[in-house]
Structure 1
């Protein structure tokens, strides 16, 4: 580099003697011009050494139309195409990340509406029929299929599939099967199952299954072998159907960790009780407070009643704070919550979990996998993407994408996959 730069003599040229021949022109430059050139070269060198800006980069637009379903793996995107009708076949494809090349394509005789990935097994489920197909995620071949009426996959985790099969006599079979072969690991018949409650079923290593019967009986089973760890009676009967609203008489049962919470409103009287699993030992009970479904929010328990959200003391159920501004709130970081307000198209905010105070208003923003997806308030169809630096709510914007509403996006760092306004499912690499 140095050899390509000419040497410049900075000495002033001597004044010629009278009558002497004019000297040959020399490579000289006025001092201000020389200084400017040196500064420009230095700035160019610094610019070359400065790392690129932290921005998101599109690396794949999969297919020419919208996908019926998609999911992200650590190094691949999987998509399912729409069939011509609810019973027509679907195409399943795998694309490499970050390269974007299509690795395989498989046709299935079902209209796939959901894809779930667990290690080397990809589960494809229909939207209207009970048929389910388990595929080798690496090669795309079908490993086995399940086509039993009233059968659902509760969870696919750790190379195992937990199946729920409701029988005609009102009973329920719980069956744990090997994800690659379908071979039964264990099976147990349970009478009158209303719900399966525990919140760790969708983790990498589920430990227990908490089964709630329609008659209020709670059974806790070992996930690995189906053995009964404990049983108890709540003394309530579940409603035949629930549409998610809070009627005048209400029963809401939720599990968080090793705690079960029973919220009731009976002829206008509200109560909330906490039980320890698996023996269903009561820890505390309160009366007159909010009703709803309880979930863990770090320093508090969150409960959403009709028209407000409250933070409860986990040790005794007392109300620490309550706010009519929010429809619901969920744990975001250490000591923070993400809350959505009462609007039909809700806005969100970050709250202090201990006090309910607003730390930062987010507007129409979704929080997905540590990213904030915010609709542009002026330009329709554009969504801004910001990376959350921590639970305190600090973020930095890394780019934008063309999508009207950022629903249905999936994050598996360093990748973000979203439906787009143009149709194709697009994947970005996030810094």
Structure 2
């Protein structure tokens, strides 16, 4: 077995806390590993340390704000975690200078749930105070002008379209498709009381899966809404709802016999396998780059072969797991909010590379970043490349930061007490 590669570690004295040590290695390979590590250390020692970027440009933002980098613009919103605000606004700023461009004010009482993109536009999802449906508003990112509005929570499709999900009690909710250019409703489907599940590809949803409490299953195409397949599974034990109704990869997972979950193939709705689950709450299934992983609140991961349900590998050290392309990003306990991150082979669970200790950021902007606290009140920002198994240093910033996004020529970071700063970094 090839040795695990250590990546992303700083020179001695740079970190505020001692980095974790590499795992033990077979005695017969010590000499070779030492030689490789010495070469790596010499290379790092000779490299020019990343220069601090020039002084940052400040942009007003409340504590707990959310932000997005889109089409050369910085969009800032008073998110659901904002502190001490009476209203909710969204503002657009030019990058990299931070000049204000426009301001959009939500209806009184609404607050922003999230920011996203659809067909080159900015999608603002908000929720009213008290009862009421979630509302999504598409804005022009250059001017802030409203293009259209639609009730429901947005879900992107693989073809670039958008669905809006509006669940309601007693099975009266809907899922509908909207023309991204005009906002016109193209088609809609009623939602059962169980809600909706989605089959996804690399770019978004490909199929809509509806399961009623009496066991009827409908699979619809996400683009046309057409019924692709219909069948039945055993009804929910209480005839009201299932404990599990999940779509993972090409499988529909629902309650089986007591203490088990049964997998059905979505292509034929044929029963594939059963797997026992712990009775405790918080057990869920996730797609693991070709495998099916079972996780719970206690920690650890159990991987199954999706075709047979047979155990693949088990590892109790992981407290988090996420697929990236054909690999997995696994997280172990670190220091505070910073976790020890590794790239894993999904078929075996073996660590292929270690990225070091990071707090992840930038996921919403499409560029996975890592933040690491350094001595002297500084923050190391790295680009985490899961496919390559590399953590590349992006910048060293003064101060501490909650979240960052990378525009390609600038880093935008949010201070814990509020306020954004734009750091011009170059590519």
| TM-score calculated relative to the size of structure 1 | 0.68
Write the deviation string for residues 112-148 of structure 1: whole angstroms up to 9, x where unpaired: 42222223432223344444433223321223344xx
User: What is the distance in 1 between the residues matched to 2:128 and 2:314?
Assistant: 41
User: What is the distance in 2 between the residues matched to 1:346 and 1:214?
Assistant: 42
Displacement of 1:229 after TM fit?
A: 0.9
Unaligned segments of structure 2, at least 5 residues: 1-46
- The residue that corresponds to 2:415 in the other structure is 420
Write the deviation string for residues 172-193 of structure 1: whole angstroms up to 9, x where unpaired: 2222223454322112224324
Equivalent pairs counted in the alignment come to 363
Aligned ranges 1:195-210 → 2 under 5 Å: 195-200=196-201, 206-210=205-209
Write the deviation string for residues 166-210 of structure 1: whole angstroms up to 9, x where unpaired: 45643222222234543221122243242333334xx75643222
Aligned CA distance change for structure 1 residues 195 and 188 (closer, same or farther; 3 Å): closer
Aligned ranges 1:304-383 → 2 under 5 Å: 304-305=295-296, 306-332=298-324, 334-341=326-333, 345=337, 347-353=339-345, 354-358=347-351, 359-360=353-354, 362-366=356-360, 368=363, 369=366, 371-376=368-373, 378=375, 382-383=378-379
User: What is the distance in 2 between the residues matched to 1:327 and 1:64?
Assistant: 32
User: What is the distance in 2 between the residues matched to 1:57 and 1:257?
Assistant: 46
User: What is the distance in 1 between the residues matched to 2:83 and 2:409?
Assistant: 35
* Contact persistence 1:93–1:105 (CA under 8 A): yes
Aligned CA distance change for structure 1 residues 298 and 169 (closer, same or farther; 3 Å): closer
Displacement of 1:325 after TM fit?
A: 1.9
Aligned CA distance change for structure 1 residues 174 and 331 (closer, same or farther; 3 Å): closer
- The residue that corresponds to 1:302 in the other structure is 293
* Contact persistence 1:403–1:419 (CA under 8 A): no
* Contact persistence 1:159–1:180 (CA under 8 A): no
Q: Which has the larger radius of gyration?
A: 1
User: What is the distance in 2 between the residues matched to 1:295 and 1:370?
Assistant: 22
- The residue that corresponds to 1:143 in the other structure is 147
| TM-score calculated relative to the size of structure 2 | 0.69
335-344 or 349-358, which deviates more: 335-344
The answer on 1:384 being equivalent to 2:380 is yes
User: What is the distance in 2 between the residues matched to 1:76 and 1:186?
Assistant: 33
Match of 2:392 among 388, 396, 404: 396
* Contact persistence 2:355–2:390 (CA under 8 A): no
User: What is the distance in 2 between the residues matched to 1:225 and 1:170?
Assistant: 22
- The residue that corresponds to 2:26 in the other structure is none
- The residue that corresponds to 1:97 in the other structure is 95
Aligned CA distance change for structure 1 residues 236 and 417 (closer, same or farther; 3 Å): farther
RCO greater where, 1 or 2, for CA within 8 Å and sep 6 or more?
2
